[in-house]
Amino acid sequence: MVSKLPSSLRLNPNLQFLRALRPCGDIRHARQLFDEIPEPDIRSWTLLITGYIKSGFPEEALKVYDELRERKVVPDQLALLSVTKACATLGNLIKAKGIHEDVIRYGYRSDLLLGNAMIDMYGKCKYAQGAREVFDSLSAKDVITWTSMSSCYVNCKLPKDALGIFREMGLNGVRPNPVTLSSILPACSDLKSLNLGREIHGYIVRNGIHDNVYVSTALVDMYASCSSIKEAESVFDNTYQFDYVLCNVIMSAYFSNGECDKALRIFDQLRKIGTKLNHDSWNSVIGGCMQSGRTDKALQVLHEMQHSGVRPNKITITSVLPTCIDLGSIRRGKEIHGFLFRHLFLEDETVSTALVFMYAKCGDLELSRRVFYMMPKKDTIAWNTMIIGNSMHGKGQEALLIFHEMVSSGVNRNSVTFTGILSGCSHSRLVDEGLLIFYSMSKEHGVEPDAEHYSCMVDALSRAGRLEQAYNFIQNMPMKPSAGAWGALLGACRVYKNVEIARAAGKQLLEIEPENAGNYVLLSNIYEAAKLREEASEIRKLMREKGIMKNPGCSWIQVKDKVHTFVVGDKNNAQTAEIYSFLTEVGEKMRLAGYLPCTDLVVQDLDAEEKEYSLCNHSERLAVAFGILNLDGASSIRVFKNLRICGDCHNAIKYMAKIVGVQIIVRDPLRFHHFKDGLCSCRDFW
């Protein structure tokens, strides 16, 4: 029988544990060995915490630290340093404050290494006050201390304080290093402080730091943020060391400056030299093309991204979905939906919510509902999106039901929730229901009504014809009435032909929004309809004197894979002859059915026949005609418009929907109009 080894030759359990934590070790095995140690020393506790951090489990590292404290083990400097890093990674402010208390309790208040780590930790937690307390408690400060404090202020959106620390650092004779400079330049970007940015750039050049890629990236971003694209370009061109982050910044600068082609050239160069592009680069280009209105290019880049082997992530998808909304392309949206389904992206709340919004904005509320109710978890944003979707389609009762479901589910309501539900009540003339919700906001839901909520109630009262009550409601608002409130009242005056209140509302609007052409046009139209030609003429004269131009109307429709755009009197479409022939033919049928053109608002000096022809040229009518000519067996068409639908076109499309026997859906900037069987979902109030 072999006798046991003497205790002096046995391997200490702490040492066995240390071996398990060697590089590339198994953290789970290390934990098992750790649990077998009767009384682990502080070194073992610290190494276990560090092991969890290096293995990507900062939450577990914090749990180990909690165990250490429960066992009354006194942490040393290294243990506190390790757990501070874990807390910084998670951005957990509650734990950060606890660690700070321990640092003070165990006598490390003036420790420079720990102090620097805690400033960084508070910066990651976005708590500048805590970082400043640590900073002020340090008797000695090095360049890392000053850099961490200025960086913390930048992270906390306090750029002036960041620059103050940077100046103080110079006065104390501490020379900034590249990390300091790359972290302080974003403060200049936030403040649009071009002169200070140039001063820092001069220091960088004088001290030979301009070749540092991080500094160059920050400089490019600073100049781009200050709208100095030429200087941003110069820094980029004179940088010898490149990485994809720097290229992403200059591409974003070009996209923001409207120089899409330059951005795409850099993107192409990156691909030609074989740079392995990550999600940030692809997403930057897709988002930039979207921002520049190059939706087709954005979709092409998305296809190339997939072909290159890089799977789109949720940022890619939520960037590209707006292309479907802008183009009204429900077909493209369904393709993206299929991709999301195949790659299990639908489990992500953000992506599913974006889909819900896309379908609602593209005019298919039923598909929007299906996606919503298939979501396993729904946060406040998801519920708000569904409420708003129903509201914009004039489905106020459905929006109310969803709101009550949201309340029953215990999900927090916020300001947007009530804007959505009150808007739904307004569009469906559910005035009393809207008033009940409005007055319950602060008492039952803890949300104080703001100007937007008051505007919604003015809109609801106005749409119901309760103009005097709406006018009194505005005058009794606890804050200054917004343009939205007066605009809702003015719009109702057009429908209910109340010139006196229109005059009062119009006066307020022209003072609040003197550059908004829509207010002038609406007020002029109200006077014109009331045969007050002189007053209408005065409004139009005022517009001319101020140089205010009405935005040109534009409508578009997607047929198959192509988006067709129309403006007033458009004759550029390949089917122009068929479109005008159809409008003439259907126009005769509309007359027989009782349609009378509303020519009162055509202010040009034209005879009656010319005025009627002028109305037939409107962009929405041309787009609807084109859609009907290209139905190809479909039972509905969707048209999108950049301005409010014209009153006469609204009336005409009701007749067209009934005569042709299709559903015509028109989306303007405010809401959807569903035309079917001679009626519109807005009940002729929009």
Residue-wise pLDDT for 34-50, tens only, equals 888 888 888 888 888 98
pLDDT at 6: 41
DSSP H or E run through 679: strand 679-680
The residue ranking higher by pLDDT, 290 or 554, is: 554
Helix (H, G, I), strand (E, B) or coil at 652: helix
pLDDT at 409: 94
Residue 513 has pLDDT above 60, yes or no: yes
CA nearest neighbour of 68 among 42, 97, 92? 42
CA nearest neighbour of 399 among 377, 415, 383? 383
- Measured CA to CA in angstroms, residue 64 lies from 41, 121, 679 at distances of 13, 18, 67
Assigned token pair, 275: 């740079």
360, 393 Cβ separation under 8 angstroms: yes
User: pTM for the whole thing?
Assistant: 0.64
Neighbours of 189 (CB within 10 A): 20
Residue 682 has pLDDT above 60, yes or no: yes
C-alpha–C-alpha distance, residues 151 and 132, integer Å: 12
pLDDT digits (tens, 9 = 90+) for 656-672: 999 999 999 998 887 88
Residue 80 has pLDDT above 80, yes or no: yes
pLDDT confidence bin for 457, thresholds 50/70/90: very high
CA angle 462, 416, 373 (to 5 degrees): 110
Residue 2 has pLDDT above 90, yes or no: no
pLDDT at 328: 66
Residue 61 has pLDDT above 80, yes or no: yes
pLDDT at 604: 43
Residue 612 has pLDDT above 50, yes or no: no
Q: Please give the share of the chain, as a percent, with pLDDT higher than 90.
A: 55
Q: Please give the share of the chain, as a percent, with pLDDT higher than 70.
A: 92
pLDDT at 54: 87
C-alpha–C-alpha distance, residues 501 and 493, integer Å: 7
DSSP H or E run through 61: helix 58-70
C-alpha–C-alpha distance, residues 521 and 602, integer Å: 11
623, 570 Cβ separation under 8 angstroms: no
DSSP H or E run through 290: helix 279-291
Rounded to an integer, the average pLDDT of 538-558 is: 88
C-alpha–C-alpha distance, residues 594 and 602, integer Å: 21
C-alpha–C-alpha distance, residues 159 and 20, integer Å: 46
482, 451 Cβ separation under 8 angstroms: yes
CA nearest neighbour of 42 among 11, 64, 20, 63? 64
165, 149 Cβ separation under 8 angstroms: yes
C-alpha–C-alpha distance, residues 138 and 135, integer Å: 6
Secondary structure, 3-state, 525-584 = HHHHHCCCHHHHHHHHHHHHHHCCCCCCCEEEEEECCEEEEEECCCCCCCCHHHHHHHHH
pLDDT at 605: 40
Handedness of CA 368, 371, 373, 375 (dihedral sign): negative
What is the DSSP pairing of strand 663-667 with strand 672-676?
antiparallel
CA nearest neighbour of 205 among 230, 179, 238, 183? 238
pLDDT confidence bin for 603, thresholds 50/70/90: very low
- Measured CA to CA in angstroms, residue 52 lies from 23, 94, 362 at distances of 13, 20, 47
Of the given ranges (232-246, 421-435, 564-578), which has the lowest mean pLDDT?
Answer: 232-246
Residue 18 has pLDDT above 60, yes or no: no
Burial of 47 (0-12, 13-18, 19+ CB in 10 A): buried
pLDDT at 275: 67
Paired with 554 in beta bridges are 567
Rounded to an integer, the average pLDDT of 417-439 is: 93
CA nearest neighbour of 641 among 655, 658, 656, 653? 653
pLDDT at 344: 67
How many residues would you count in the chain?
686
Handedness of CA 54, 58, 63, 67 (dihedral sign): positive
Rounded to an integer, the average pLDDT of 12-30 is: 60
- The contacts of residue 630 (CB under 8 Å, 6+ apart) are 559, 575
pLDDT digits (tens, 9 = 90+) for 265-314: 988 888 887 667 888 888 889 888 877 777 778 878 888 887 888 888 87
Residue 4 has pLDDT above 60, yes or no: no
Instruction: Kindly state the DSSP code that residue 346 receives in the 8-state scheme.
Output: G
Distance of alpha carbon 472 from the chain centroid: 35
pLDDT digits (tens, 9 = 90+) for 136-161: 999 999 999 999 999 999 999 999 99
CA nearest neighbour of 221 among 272, 183, 265? 183
